[in-house]
Structure 1
């Protein structure tokens, strides 16, 4: 059978104050075109459909339309919640999803709920363990469904996930394609650069040995970099279909096309997605920035190699309209901070304290001092 593996859409993402909904519409439309061309039997969306747990109506509409369009290609569609998603809210859509032929899993409702079975048009059977993101707090509650002892309930997060998978993969059969999808961090994998750090720390990391050799393919979400992870079976992150933040500007966004059969190792082929705007970091003086060649379809993070002063950000954005983030070059700030000499502050007026601060950080600008004086007088 053929599988399209995607994850980490993050629809509703706002980058430095700039909504990216138009980019997401283009990216998901390209994803649907890939599905139409590849004709997969199954599409797996491994979590983080949304950027926030309270998505806007527009973001919800984009996700629902994308899932519906993927289903209309003839593929079966399974999607699980990620750590950015509201699992209970996704479960509230299950009535619509079931009617549309889409298996949506926001939380673990019962011991049998995460197991999705089906067959391809040619009659090839598959069994998919669809595991939504499980927080440390919820791991104990989920484990209770499998009647663990009190001592077992006090084990580590990885132990809980291992027990869950052991129980859930007990439904794997020798004559079916056995699959696992989940939204989690696996030890040894590389972060993409824009993930939420609280849920990618080691306390949430699990070893790849949790996955059984009976699995033909493990489709993961959570880390935004497309990669394979060594394990007892094929374990892959599809990565995000677009760079979520500037830390991911060097990633190659895309999806994975997987072909698997009982008794045969899965083959994995990446397919790039190019519809999103490129993210790029540039640096230089104003003259150097003015000489840069930047196309209109690029968002920029700009490190300015000049001393801070009023109006500098606005001047950079005049030169580079795609500049979403403008900062003084950290190396220049370090040089200024290393030579600045702190002065005694006891008994100093607010005006003098602020002026000394500007000098310390290399931002000795009369216009800024005058603005501070006016604001201080107004609030005083």
Structure 2
């Protein structure tokens, strides 16, 4: 059987105040296109569908229409809540979405109460079992483990560690596997040793919020993870993969490859994983140079979102000059080599010995400004204020 693994859509994300809904619309359409082109049996979305727990109506409309399109095309749709999503809302809409062929999971469940979703692959007839683990906070991991498998938690009562509680949940869901079927697991979490993509919420990615890959049963055909935005494969007894985000979320992710993963799995055969590129999102780039150098390069940046580091001293109107030639510049900074240095502290004696014009000239030099217009303006204002004294 074949399925797509994707995660971390973050629909509704804006970048420095710029909305990206049109980009998301193109990216999700591209994912639907991949599902159709490869005639998959299912699409697994491993959390963080939205960027916020209270997404806008436009964001919800885009996501719902995308999921409905996948379901109408005959694909099994399995989506879990991430730490950016609102798990309670997923659960509230679960019955309605289920009626439309969309399987949402907002909270961890026992294997016989929806914690393992089973279906037969339409292409091969093979039985498929998907263990689902939405994002679990430290507090809810304890509660979920106690509710799901109260008899399995004795070792963790004294340990109390996040990874042990999650391990207990995984061990319980493992009981829902079928030795004659394809057994998958999808979760939204951080694995020890995983590389950050650049846009994750660090407090929910490190500290106690990580688990070793050893918790995943060896007979799992494939582990589809979300949460880390960088595409990566982690060493483990079972195939453990992060699909990464199909759209760079912030400038820390500008070097990440945007992909969805095509997985081919059969009972008793190791899963085959193929990276499918997603190219619809606009590229994020960090560029450097003087204003004139950037002006000369402007056409090569096309529609990319830009973080600009200006390699010259600042002057009045510099930001406007940059935006005139680079309207897609979302961040503008003076390069560290040209930024102000030192503490800027001077003695009272030094101040008393200097004229206002001399002090202002020193300040301009300190902050790296060499704009003669600013100094002329200062002199004019100073003359007006001190005239007649």
**What TM-score results when the alignment is normalised by the length of structure 2?**
0.88
The corresponding residue for 2:96 is 96
Secondary structure at the counterpart of residue 140 of structure 2:
helix
The corresponding residue for 1:138 is 140
The corresponding residue for 2:341 is 337
Name the CA distance, whole Å, in 1 between partners of 2:158 and 2:38: 44
Q: Which has the larger radius of gyration?
A: 2
Contact 1:341-1:360 within 8 A present in 2 as well = yes
Name the CA distance, whole Å, in 2 between partners of 1:225 and 1:2: 22
The corresponding residue for 1:124 is 126
Secondary structure at the counterpart of residue 117 of structure 2:
strand
Relative to structure 1, the CA distance from residue 94 to residue 357 in structure 2 (aligned partners, 3 Å threshold; closer, same or farther) is farther
Contact 1:143-1:153 within 8 A present in 2 as well = no
Name the CA distance, whole Å, in 2 between partners of 1:160 and 1:344: 60
Paired residues in the alignment total: 367
The Cα offsets for residues 35-84 of structure 1, whole Å up to 9 and x where unpaired, read as 11111111100000001111101011111111111112211010000111
> Residue 345 of structure 1: CA displacement?
7.7
Matched, 1:312 2:302: no
The Cα offsets for residues 178-198 of structure 1, whole Å up to 9 and x where unpaired, read as 100001111122111222211
Name the CA distance, whole Å, in 2 between partners of 1:97 and 1:298: 36
Relative to structure 1, the CA distance from residue 345 to residue 192 in structure 2 (aligned partners, 3 Å threshold; closer, same or farther) is farther
Name the CA distance, whole Å, in 2 between partners of 1:150 and 1:268: 36
The corresponding residue for 2:249 is 244
Query: Which structure 1 residue ranges, 5 or more long, are not aligned?
Result: 374-380
Matched, 1:164 2:169: yes
Secondary structure at the counterpart of residue 291 of structure 1:
helix
Matches within 5 A, 1:1-380: 1-110=1-110, 112-121=113-122, 122-145=124-147, 146-147=149-150, 148-149=153-154, 152=157, 155-292=160-297, 293-333=299-339, 336-338=340-342, 341-344=344-347, 360-363=366-369, 366=374
> Residue 149 of structure 1: CA displacement?
4.1
Relative to structure 1, the CA distance from residue 18 to residue 345 in structure 2 (aligned partners, 3 Å threshold; closer, same or farther) is farther
Relative to structure 1, the CA distance from residue 109 to residue 208 in structure 2 (aligned partners, 3 Å threshold; closer, same or farther) is closer
Relative to structure 1, the CA distance from residue 364 to residue 86 in structure 2 (aligned partners, 3 Å threshold; closer, same or farther) is farther
Relative to structure 1, the CA distance from residue 158 to residue 357 in structure 2 (aligned partners, 3 Å threshold; closer, same or farther) is farther
The corresponding residue for 2:385 is none
Contact 2:263-2:273 within 8 A present in 1 as well = yes
The Cα offsets for residues 120-170 of structure 1, whole Å up to 9 and x where unpaired, read as 123210111111000112111112112134962752111111111011111
> Residue 115 of structure 1: CA displacement?
1.1
> Residue 298 of structure 1: CA displacement?
0.9
**What TM-score results when the alignment is normalised by the length of structure 1?**
0.90
Contact 1:39-1:73 within 8 A present in 2 as well = no
Question: Superposition RMSD on alpha carbons, in Å?
Answer: 2.7
Q: Name whichever of 198-207 and 354-363 sits farther off.
A: 354-363
Name the CA distance, whole Å, in 2 between partners of 1:206 and 1:151: 14
> Residue 360 of structure 1: CA displacement?
4.5
Q: Name whichever of 187-196 and 34-43 sits farther off.
A: 187-196
Query: Which structure 2 residue ranges, 5 or more long, are not aligned?
Result: 382-389
> Residue 322 of structure 1: CA displacement?
1.3
Relative to structure 1, the CA distance from residue 263 to residue 345 in structure 2 (aligned partners, 3 Å threshold; closer, same or farther) is farther
Q: Name whichever of 287-296 and 123-132 sits farther off.
A: 287-296
> Residue 30 of structure 1: CA displacement?
0.8
Contact 2:110-2:173 within 8 A present in 1 as well = no
Secondary structure at the counterpart of residue 201 of structure 1:
coil
The Cα offsets for residues 194-252 of structure 1, whole Å up to 9 and x where unpaired, read as 22211221421211001010100000011111111100110111111111111111111
Secondary structure at the counterpart of residue 219 of structure 2:
coil
Contact 1:226-1:240 within 8 A present in 2 as well = yes
